[in-house]
Amino acid sequence: QGCALKVGPCAPPVSAMRRRSLAALRALPGRCVALAGLCGSAGGPAAPACASTVAANGSPSTDLQRRNPAFAAARAAVCRTFEEGRDFRIVTREMGSERADLPIFTAPAGVVRLAEESERPEVVREDFPNIPGAFLLHNVLTDDECDQLIAASEAMGYTEDAPVSLGRHIRQNDNCVWIADSELNGALFERCRQHLPEEIDGGQPMGLNARWRLYRYNPDDVFRAHTDGSWPGSGLDPASGRLVQDIHGDRWSQLTWVAYLNNDFEGGATCFLLAGGRREAVPAKRGAVLCFFHGEHPLSPVHEGSHVSRGTKYIIRSDVLYTLPGRGPSVQQA
């Protein structure tokens, strides 16, 4: 299937830090402990998996877990539930390519528990000489953060439709739009900042677009060849809580930012279609972020999310925002 590559199951060894964390949790009566894919009560007999939730779109997650081992594994590892009203809410609804009531979600700060800097490996940049401008940032997200993001987005719910112009003849995957809080969004940007281009068209990197588009690729799903558009940075108005499509007014996106939340599936590489009919594939690596130019940039590449042959693939699609020429902070201070 084009550039689809086989990606082996993700089975990282339990780190010393994780062993210490599990030991500490076992010492606390009544705490829920995730170990070897089982959710049990510390100090007592093994319990069944954490109580099922119902996603915001009304579909029981227990049925989804049976069909989706990646979600089941993430939920068992996180071992807590995400509930509408407490952990997330629908901030608005938007027009999709097929329906007019697609939910747009947001969550308060702290819902996704971020690892301390000392608990994370160093972020490392890998460049691709055959894909001009593209690079992969390893270790942006920890395994635990990936599991939380999968579990939280599944609680919100995915839809086949999406608030984009591309229909399912091009974008055959499921979609969840999450307006990330500034704490979470800012933390992930800071992890990437030093590895980003310092200047593009006279603008400096200012942050990530808070409008996260999470995509779930089920078996046989594919995102066919396309280019990515450029966007302003969305966000919630602090006074009204409403979604504003251009919350900053002084920046626009220049880079695609794709975070891979899992790699326990087959196929699903990001494949770049280059001059002369050449294809270059970047396999998904859990916790890594792939960046490349988009919009009107001359190096904006045609690419595809290749066919997933087995398992379920989860990604976050956002954008790196750069100041607009003549409207950056350095100009305003002059």
Bridge partners of 179, per DSSP, are: 106, 211
CA atoms 147, 149, 154, 155: torsion sign: positive
The angle subtended at Cα 76 by Cα 35 and Cα 19, nearest 5°, is: 25
Q: Output the pLDDT for position 7.
A: 33
Per the CB < 8 A criterion, the answer to whether 218 and 174 are in contact is yes
Bridge partners of 136, per DSSP, are: 126, 290
CA atoms 249, 250, 256, 259: torsion sign: negative
With cut-offs at 50, 70 and 90, classify the pLDDT of residue 65: low
With cut-offs at 50, 70 and 90, classify the pLDDT of residue 160: confident
Average pLDDT, the chain: 81
Say how many CA atoms lie within 13 Å of 276 toward its Cβ: 3
d(CA 209, CA 247): 10
Mean pLDDT of 159-181: 76
Q: Is the pLDDT of residue 255 over 50?
A: yes
Q: Output the pLDDT for position 19.
A: 38
Q: Output the pLDDT for position 170.
A: 63
Tell me: the pLDDT tens digits for 263-322? 999 999 999 999 899 999 999 999 999 999 999 999 999 999 999 999 999 999 999 999
Mean pLDDT of 218-233: 91
Give CA separation, 198 vs 123, 192, 202, 257, 268, in Å: 17, 12, 9, 16, 30
Look at residue 290 and give its three-state secondary structure. Answer: strand
d(CA 291, CA 310): 25
In this prediction the pTM is 0.79
Kind and range of the H or E element at 260? strand 251-260
Q: What percent of the chain has pLDDT over 90?
A: 65
Q: Is the pLDDT of residue 118 over 70?
A: yes
Domains and CATH numbers, the chain: 16-333 (2.60.120.620)
Q: Is the pLDDT of residue 168 over 60?
A: no
Q: Output the pLDDT for position 113.
A: 97
Bridge partners of 88, per DSSP, are: 84
